[in-house]
Chains A and B, each alone.
Chain A
Amino acid sequence: MTEPRWRRPHTRKFRSRLIAALVVGALGAVVAAGALAQGVGKSSLIGKLEGPEVVTDSAKFPKTLKEAPQLAALVKAGKLPPVAERVGQDPLVIKPLHEIGKYGGTWRGGFTGPADFWNGYRCCSGPDHLLFWDYTGDKVTPNIAKGYEMQDGGRTLVLQLRRGMKWSDGKPFTADDFVFWFEDIYRNKDLVPTPAAAMAINGKQGEVQKVDTYTVKFKFPEPYYLLPDVLAGSTQIGGHAQQGLNGMGGYAPAHYLKQFHPKYLGQAELDKKVKEEKFDSWVRMFLFKNDWAKNSDLPVVTPWKTVTPSNTPTWTLERNPYSVFVDPEGNQLPYIDRVVLTLAENLEVINLRAIAGEYDFQQRHLDLGKLPVFIENQAKGAYKVHLDPGDYGGDMIIKFNLSYEADPEIAKWMNTADFRRALAIGIDRDQINETFWLGTGTPSSVVPADSNKYNPGPQYRKMWATLDVKKANEMLDKIGLAKKDAEGYRQRTDGKGRLRIEIMTLGGQFLQFTQIAEMIREQWKKIGIDLVVQEVERSLAIQRTIANEQQLAAWNNDGSEHLFTFPTHVFPFDLIAVVATSGPLYAKWFQSAGTQGKEPPPRLKELMEKFKKAYGVPEKERIALGKEVWKIAAEEVFIIGVIGIGPASMGVRVVKTNMGNIPSRQYNSPDGKTPTISRPVTFFYKK
């Protein structure tokens, strides 16, 4: 019953020793972590922008074609037509960055599940846009279409297709696939209830017509000079792989999809099929069948095609034997046989696998905050770390909801230019850059990189983007917010106490918006602004945005380097701009050409008008208008730019050292679908 006396001191000593050991152990690890590692400097992490080129001069086209050994074996066995027949007369020739590659190998990467579509899409879709960007992201070049010509004062775009080109099942790829898409998918009200903005100019819808087997035209009632850019960009007519699942894309495999369409199969037969395959409706089934990532039977024109779909634990893609891509020596591309993306249940696992060298080329989901760990393990993992800063001005931006109505006082201030400007210069960007970008970003307004063709001039980089607490305080005092409470926060003018502003952030993104917002909250204390940080779930963010309940929101403006094809984060353009909008009522007004929503204030209206006008004018005029748009955006601070031209959003790249034709820096952009803009078809394994 009683405890023997002699045991007590031992026990006590033991306990305290164990606890001490625990603490000491933790501290010891700290010391060990201080070990130095020899890595590479910042300059070698951010290299020179480079990439392969599309050869358009048919004189330089290869005379004979070669193919991967396993395809050659199939040809020999009579299971596949010869390569020349498969590729056709007009191959899409790509000159690799450094050298002609070797066939073979499996590209290993990671993805997070069926919702992570962009992961496989960005690596392996080719792309299959009709037109696409060159590696600088600046110029539109022919892609799946062999050539294009603007006619009729910008009203008609004529596209030449490649003769003898095939879908991945060997069926010809012709103008009929465009007509089928336009007539039977796009114009079918069940499949596409709302017409695409990309298919309209000034609110007037265009048409797709067949000229002959290998020629199609996109015809519009008014000049649409921007159309080539729209076809090259991430728009609703930006290719089959990306947009098929929405019934968009510009073309679709008619011969395959007809069997799921009521017009060709008959409603009764179709209903039977829907029931057999357990779909909720024929629309669901049709769109599923046209999903590049989920339906492995779907004929495609991408260089790799899905073998095991993205809704299984391993998303596998294999070379498309009918790929139209070739190198200048006539080798059918891609060089790499297979792409295997393994499901990782969470982002830390993806990052740790990249650190361990289990991936060959991974860019998406890699976290800039882990850069030191990536660098430390370069030798062990046999990979090299590259940083690809984007050309957009905001790895992080703060959007004001300009059409906010729930609280008139806050709405009033958010619509006061000097209020927005004062908040913008109340941010200490150097602190944020050092903490969250490890010094790799650039404190910046919202404008894109100086090299961008729409950049309005170097003086706009720092406009309302440099810390000036004194000036910010003066400005806020002057506009009528001089009264402060005991803790130094500014008071509302309607007598309802402290002026509290809410910022909505999303967790689990490429960047830790919540933590950055916390830091800004501390910084804004010095200008007497009380910021409330609200981290929300994505669906909730969408709901609040739709309901016009959001005040400020943190996000990035990646894509805005292509002002006209990705304007979502420049001004209130879409109703649902990812999760945040700078004014849903104004966006509605803009989208409905003034019939719905609320009329925006003069400067914003001016910006919108210039933007709209630019779609219908030739490039030179468009560039001038684009500069104007950015000027207004920077001067009015509709959106605060925090840190830009940085690598935080998919700009950390880990590549195995045995891979060839890897650019030292890529154009990092959603429109460029990086790394697609570097043409992964030319990547290969040296050994």
Chain B
Amino acid sequence: MLTFIGRRVVLAIFTVWAISVLAFAIIQLPPGDYVTSYIAQMATMGSVVTDEEAQNLRIQYGLGRPIYVQYYKWVKLIAQGDFGMSMEWRRPVTEVIGERLWLTVVVSVAALILTWALALPIGVYSAVRQYSVGDYLATFVGFIGLAVPNFLLALVLLYLGFVLFNAHIGGLFSPEFNDAPWSWARVWDLLKHLPIPALILGLAGMAQQIRIMRANLLDELRKPYVVTARSKGLPEPRVITKYPVRVALNPFASTIGYTLPYIVSGSIIVSLVLGLPTVGPLLLKALIAQDMFLAGTIVLLLGVMTVIGTLVSDVLLVWIDPRIRLEET
């Protein structure tokens, strides 16, 4: 077991390194650099950045140097726990990301809880009543969430929220709580803003979860022990809930690790439309402005979250089901 974990950790570190290289490369891919977008920004403000000034800026930001030097500098900074300064925000990257990271996690967890709260019962029902009207209806509803373009759904809900309930538009806080220090009132305000984003994100992931639950449970229900239980005259609800559901839940629990990062990166578009103060919109803007350190840090952060999540899941899976260990080696 320990060697297994050790091996996975080494592999994970390798993956993180590869992600950092890839993240850096992706940000460099589009034409131009931060200075180009700075020039564009200045031009809209009526001031002109000349060639010499642009060159100066590139030197000041260290953008003129070869990419591998820039990469080395970046990694060295990170190794020291310093994620650099955001070029556009002119503040340390950690400060810019700051609260947004936690709000992102809050939104994602809310979405995850909602997904499971809906998907698990529906999945169980679908499996028990396979091919019934209810099964089809549940699958249908599940797929609607997957199929509706979520950016459009988000906008429609935003508008309906205003028209029908006079709700505050977008964001996760009412204006008076935007910068307020944490308090119960602020938490309550946050909770009031959560349902719409959680619903949109949760619906999108529901279909997949219903499917997994249904398939797992169907497999389990055909096993001899269930037949035995039935033949012994156990009441049906008990037959189902006693073991099959629990067994079917096992692989589920182990996906928790990487589901969360998936929801985080899946939430970028929805966050943008709903104007949520999460890392998503920040990442998009940073990518457009080619704000290297900020974009790089966010991509790396999401990547690391996924890697750790996967690692935890793998370890969890082996813990739960020792048979896998054989396969892995």
**Chain A residues within CB distance 8 Å of chain B:** 3-4, 7, 10-11, 14-15, 18, 108, 113-115, 117-118, 193-194, 234-236, 242-243, 246, 248, 278-281, 283-284, 288, 294, 308, 311-314, 340, 342-346, 348-349, 352-353, 355-356, 358, 537-543, 559, 566, 568, 574-579, 670
Contact = CB atoms under 8 A, between A and B. Distances in A.
B175 A539 contact: no
Contacts of B178: 313-314, 342
A435 to B, nearest CB: 22
Interface in B186-240: none
Interface in B125-148: 131-133, 136-137, 140
A355 B155 CA distance: 14
Interface in B26-55: 30-32, 36-37, 39-50, 52-53
Contacts of B41: 115
Contacts of A543: 31-32, 36
A392 to B, nearest CB: 14
Contacts of B78: none
A366 to B, nearest CB: 14
Nearest to A559: B46
Contacts of A11: 133, 136
Given A18-B140, A314-B178, A578-B44, A193 B290 contact: no
B272 A345 contact: yes
B32 A540 contact: yes
Given A15-B136, A236-B47, A538-B40, A346 B60 contact: no
A310 to B, nearest CB: 9
A675 B41 CA distance: 21
A538 B90 contact: no
B133 A579 contact: no
A356 B290 contact: no
B89 A311 contact: yes
A579 B43 contact: yes
A113 B132 contact: no
Interface of B: 30-32, 36-37, 39-50, 52-53, 56, 60-62, 85, 88-92, 96, 131-133, 136-137, 140, 155, 158-159, 162, 166, 168-171, 175, 178-179, 271-277, 281, 285, 288-290
B210 to A, nearest CB: 17
A305 to B, nearest CB: 17
Contacts of B37: 538-539
A193 B136 contact: no
Given A346-B272, A542-B43, 18 more contacts: A7-B132, A10-B133, A115-B41, A246-B47, A279-B85, A281-B60, A283-B56, A288-B90, A344-B170, A345-B272, A349-B274, A352-B169, A539-B30, A539-B40, A539-B290, A540-B31, A568-B46, A575-B50
A288 B60 CA distance: 13
B170 A576 contact: no
Given A7-B133, A576-B39, A539 B31 contact: yes
A579 B36 CA distance: 11
Given A288-B90, A542-B40, A670-B46, A308 B133 contact: no
A589 to B, nearest CB: 16
A113 B45 CA distance: 14
A537 B288 contact: yes
Contacts of A542: 32, 36, 39-40, 43
A187 B289 CA distance: 31
B62 A352 contact: no
A73 B216 CA distance: 71
Contact of B48 (A114, A312, A566, A574): A574
Given A345-B276, A576-B48, A114 B179 contact: no
B170 to A, nearest CB: 4
Q: Which 6 A-B pairs have the closest CB atoms?
A: A349-B275, A345-B281, A539-B36, A539-B32, A345-B275, A311-B89
Contacts of B32: 539-540, 542-543
Contacts of B290: 539
Contacts of A342: 171, 175, 178
Contacts of A346: 272-273, 275, 281
Contacts of A234: 46
Contacts of A235: 46
Contacts of A281: 60
Nearest to B85: A278
B277 A575 contact: no
Given A113-B285, A308-B179, A313 B170 contact: no
B150 to A, nearest CB: 15
Nearest to A22: B144
Contacts of B275: 344-346, 349
Given A15-B140, A314-B179, A346-B275, A576 B49 contact: yes
Contacts of A311: 89-91, 96
A340 B49 contact: no
A358 B175 contact: yes
Most chain B CB neighbours (cut-off 10 Å) among A114, A342, A539? A539
Contacts of A358: 168-169, 175
26 contacts: A4-B131, A14-B136, A15-B136, A15-B140, A108-B175, A194-B50, A246-B42, A308-B179, A311-B91, A311-B96, A342-B175, A346-B281, A349-B275, A352-B170, A356-B162, A356-B168, A358-B168, A358-B169, A539-B39, A539-B290, A542-B39, A566-B46, A576-B39, A578-B44, A579-B43, A670-B46
B77 to A, nearest CB: 11
A345 B170 contact: yes
A619 to B, nearest CB: 23
